[in-house]
Amino acid sequence: MSSPPDRFGPYDEHTQPQVPIEHYANTVLRNPRRAPFVRPVTRSELTGPLDLASKLHPGDINLAVLDGKPAQGQLIHVGGRILDEDGRGVANTLVEMWQANAAGRYFNPLDQRDAPLDPNFIGNGRCMTDEHGRYGFFTIKPGAYPVPNSNRWWRPPHIHFSLLGPASLSRLVTQMYFPGDPLNAHDLLLLSIADREAQHRMVSQQVPTQQIEGEWLGFTHDMVVRGRHATPPLH
């Protein structure tokens, strides 16, 4: 395996979400008043678990079919690469994803919205990136849904991602959006990131249909986790 990154700078705050967020009370109740303390980076932050497969069991990459029966909705493939800040593919990253069904409802007892559940759609998956940092899932396009008690804020269709990379400091939890959705421009979570380019990078790109042989739509989405190398890559 290639060496993991060894340099981790602080995030650029303009490219990361700022709280509180209007109509999202938990962004007040659950975020500290006090600014976080700046600590030195020690070995326990530079390291992380490299063998999560035995514990978290990746391999569930087709969400669109359950027991041989297809889920409702538009069949899509979502894939791309996990990169570090030097643009190197990050192998052996555990990728977790979860999403609502085509009607915008989650298979989760906490989602009690009056929208239909799909008996053939659970909506979560896991995989491990290959040696080039690539990941991919077949699924259906999630629906939008309104946020309760929010003055009619609707979440645009989105997919949640959780990445467990080669160091504690390369942990990332994010959401992926779909290109061209009019709700994107009004989404309070996307807008909590000030930098417009950073917002734009959280929107996936549609693969031209001519490049796909099967009957699904394709979306590519690369995600960048923190970490640089003392030795820069050759170009």
Does position 22 interact with another protein (CB under 8 A)? The reply is no
Binder among 22, 26, 74, 117 for another protein (CB under 8 A)? 26
Site string for another protein, 128-147 (x = CB under 8 A): --------------------
Query: Which listed residue (7, 23, 160, 228) is catalytic?
Result: 160
Does position 117 interact with another protein (CB under 8 A)? The reply is no
Rg (CA), the chain: 19
Q: Is 43 among the catalytic positions?
A: no
Q: Coil, helix or strand for 12? A: coil
Q: Is 106 among the catalytic positions?
A: yes
Query: Which listed residue (158, 177, 221, 226) is catalytic?
Result: 158
Do 46 and 39 touch, CB atoms closer than 8 A?
no
d(CA 140, CA 135): 16
Beta strands 75-83; 223-224: pairing state: parallel
Binder among 73, 79, 123, 143 for another protein (CB under 8 A)? 123
Beta strands 217-220; 75-83: pairing state: parallel
Q: Is 24 among the catalytic positions?
A: no
Stretch that binds another protein, among 61-69, 92-100, 136-144, 178-186 (CB under 8 A): 92-100
Binder among 33, 151, 210, 230 for another protein (CB under 8 A)? 33
Site string for another protein, 148-187 (x = CB under 8 A): ------------x-x---xxxx-xxxxx------------
Q: Is 57 among the catalytic positions?
A: no
Within 103-226, where are the H helices?
A: 188-191, 196-200
Q: Is 34 among the catalytic positions?
A: no
Give residues 39-68 in contact with another protein (rule: CB under 8 A). Answer: 39-52, 54-57
CA atoms within 13 A on the CB side of 119: 3
State the DSSP H helix or E strand holding residue 42, giving kind and residue range, or none if neither: none
State the DSSP H helix or E strand holding residue 55, giving kind and residue range, or none if neither: helix 53-56
Q: What residues are annotated to the active site?
A: 106, 145, 155, 158, 160
